[in-house]
Every structure is written in structure tokens, then in C-alpha cells.
């Protein structure tokens, strides 16, 4: 039972990101490098927030504090990577085999967002997955049985959200749309703080709200990237 659960949860959380990676990233070396660089920046932000959490000994048990600052650090590093990518855009344009990377500004945003998301999801889930593969199973003595699957679903939503957030965030700074910046930071804070409720096993609430936010953010990112409902309809009906 543990092994199927392991594979199931792995595919729930990382199946869609893996597909995104294979179909949109893997063919272009520049994108792979940007993805890994984004992951590295996320790691740096995590390192900073962990250091802060570690240093604040009295507040270690108050996870809300750590989460709050972690979100702020992540958004700061998103801004840093935005600055870096924009300042190296000229170079990238010359370097990139496939000039779409720079012709369409959203690709850079998407790639770095996916990098953020994948590493974030991995860090959140990978040890849980390692525990999942055996020898024990959740929910035998106490605790909830759906711990793993809800974790996996949350991780997927976070990965997707990071991708959408980056698209919105980069575009917002390009167009000085402060509303969108506030939306990104606000929704990130909201989603992260909302998951604090998972500790009291309010899975339906958190998952439902998180996925609603994911869909809203996805729609917003789609519109920001120039998508229209008509285009979407055409895409769906394969016209």
C-alpha cells in the first residue's frame, strides 16, 4: 500500500509540473538554466527565512511568524530575479537559440516561476514522500489518513500558484501595475497563512479556498499574458 501511495502522491504533486517542464522547458538550454537559477534564488530566500526563524528562538513555535517572513523573503527574491532577468535581457536575447525567450517577456516570468514552484514543492513534499514509501502508513494509530494526499494536493497548488504569481508579478513591474503586485504578495500571504489551518485538519476549507485562489490567479495570469476568452475557446475547440 505504501508504494502505490508514494507514486500516486508523487504524480499528483509533480505530474503537472513535470509535464510543463518536459513540454515547455526541456528543449531550450537557456530555459533550463533559468529554471535552475530561479530554484537557487528560492533556496536563498528559504535560507534567509530559516535563519530568521532559527535566530528568533522564542518565536520558533509560532509558525505564523516564520511563514510571514518567509513569504516576504520569497517575494523579495522574486523581485531580485526579476531585476536580474530584465537587466540581462539583452544578453539573453543574443544568447538564446530560440529568441521567443526574450521576444515574449512572459516566458521568462513563466520559467522562473516554475523554477520557484518546483523547488518549493520539492522542499515541502520530498521528505514526506520519503516517509510515504514505507515502512509505515499514516493514520494507523492516530492522525489523519489523508495527510499525504492533502499534502500532495497542496504542493501542486503551490507549484502552480508560484508559476502564475511570477507571470503576474513580472508583468506588474513591467507595467507598474501596483494592484497586481499587491495581489501577488497578498494572495501568497493569504494562501500560506491559510495552510496553518491544516494543523487542525480543516482540509476541505484550506484545499477548497486554495484551489479557488489558484484558479483565479491562473485566470489572471492568463489574461496578463495576453490570453482572451475567445482565444481560450478557440484553443479548446481546436480551431
Partner 1 sequence: MAAHVQASSLPPSASAEGAGIVDGSVNGETERLERPPKRQNQRNNYGSNNQDQPDAAILAVPSVVVRDSGGSRPSRLSGGGGGGPPTNETEEEQGLKYGAQHVIKLFVPVSLCMLVVVATINSISFYSSTDVYLLYTPFHELSPEPSVKLWNALANSLILMSVVVVMTILLIVLYKKRCYRIIHGWLILSSFMLLFIFTYLYLEELLRAYNIPMDYPTALLIMWNFGVVGMMAIHWQGPLRLQQGYLIFVAALMALVFIKYLPEWTAWAVLAAISIWDLIAVLSPRGPLRILVETAQERNEQIFPALIYSSTVIYTYMGTHYTPQQSQATASSSPSSSNSTTTTRATQNSLASPEATVASGSRSGNSRPHPQQNNQNRDGSNTLASEGMPLVTFKSNLRGNAEAAGFTQEWSANLSERVARRQIEVQSTQSGNAQRSNEYRTVTAPDQSHPDGQEERGIKLGLGDFIFYSVLVGKASSYGDWTTTIACFVAILIGLCLTLLLLAIWRKALPALPISITFGLIFCFATSAVVKPFMENLSAKQVFI
Q: Which residues contact 90 (CB under 8 A, 6 or more apart)?
A: none
Interacting span for partner 1 (CB under 8 A) from 62-70, 106-114, 215-223, 224-232: 62-70
The torsion of the CA quartet 150, 116, 211, 62, rounded to 10 degrees, works out to: 60
CB of 79 to partner 1, least distance (A): 17
Task: Report 145-174 residues binding partner 1 (CB under 8 A).
Answer: 147, 150-151, 154-155, 158
Distance between CA atoms of residues 78 and 75, nearest Å: 5
Q: Which residues contact 102 (CB under 8 A, 6 or more apart)?
A: 89, 92, 93, 96, 108
Write down the H helix ranges in the chain.
2-20, 29-55, 63-87, 89-95, 100-103, 105-132, 147-175, 178-194, 203-224, 229-236
Interacting span for partner 1 (CB under 8 A) from 17-25, 78-86, 144-152, 170-178: 144-152
CB of 199 to partner 1, least distance (A): 4
Q: Is 17 in the site for partner 1 (CB under 8 A)?
A: no
- Interacting residue ranges for partner 1, rule: CB under 8 A: 29-30, 32-33, 36-37, 39-40, 43, 46-47, 49-51, 53-54, 60, 63, 66-67, 70-71, 74, 91, 94-97, 119-120, 122-130, 147, 150-151, 154-155, 158, 191-192, 195-196, 198-199
Amino acid at each position: 500500500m505504501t508504494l502505490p501511495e508514494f507514486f500516486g502522491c508523487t504524480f499528483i504533486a509533480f505530474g503537472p509540473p513535470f509535464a510543463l517542464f518536459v513540454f515547455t522547458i526541456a528543449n531550450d538550454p537557456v530555459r533550463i538554466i533559468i529554471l535552475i537559477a530561479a530554484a537557487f534564488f528560492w533556496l536563498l530566500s528559504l535560507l534567509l527565512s530559516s535563519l530568521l526563524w532559527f535566530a528568533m528562538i522564542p518565536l520558533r513555535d509560532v509558525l505564523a511568524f516564520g511563514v510571514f517572513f518567509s513569504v516576504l523573503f520569497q517575494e523579495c527574491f522574486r523581485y531580485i530575479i526579476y531585476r536580474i532577468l530584465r537587466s540581462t535581457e539583452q544578453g539573453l536575447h543574443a544568447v538564446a537559440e530560440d529568441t521567443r525567450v526574450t521576444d515574449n517577456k512572459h516566458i521568462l516570468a513563466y520559467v522562473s516561476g516554475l523554477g520557484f514552484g518546483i523547488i518549493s514543492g520539492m522542499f515541502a513534499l520530498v521528505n514526506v514522500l520519503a516517509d510515504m514509501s514505507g515502512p509505515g502508513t499514516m493514520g494507523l494509530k492516530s492522525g489523519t489518513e489523508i495527510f499525504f494526499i492533502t499534502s500532495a494536493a497542496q504542493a501542486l497548488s503551490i507549484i502552480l500558484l508560484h508559476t502564475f504569481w511570477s507571470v503576474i508579478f513580472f508583468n506588474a513591474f513591467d507595467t507598474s501595475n501596483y494592484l497586481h503586485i499587491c495581489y501577488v504578495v497578498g494572495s501568497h500571504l493569504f494562501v500560506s497563512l491559510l495552510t496553518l489551518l491544516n494543523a487542525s485538519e480543516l482540509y476541505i476549507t484550506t484545499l477548497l479556498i486554495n484551489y479557488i485562489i489558484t484558479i483565479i490567479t491562473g485566470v489572471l495570469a492568463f489574461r496578463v499574458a495576453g490570453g482572451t476568452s475567445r482565444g481560450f475557446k478557440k484553443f479548446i475547440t481546436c480551431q
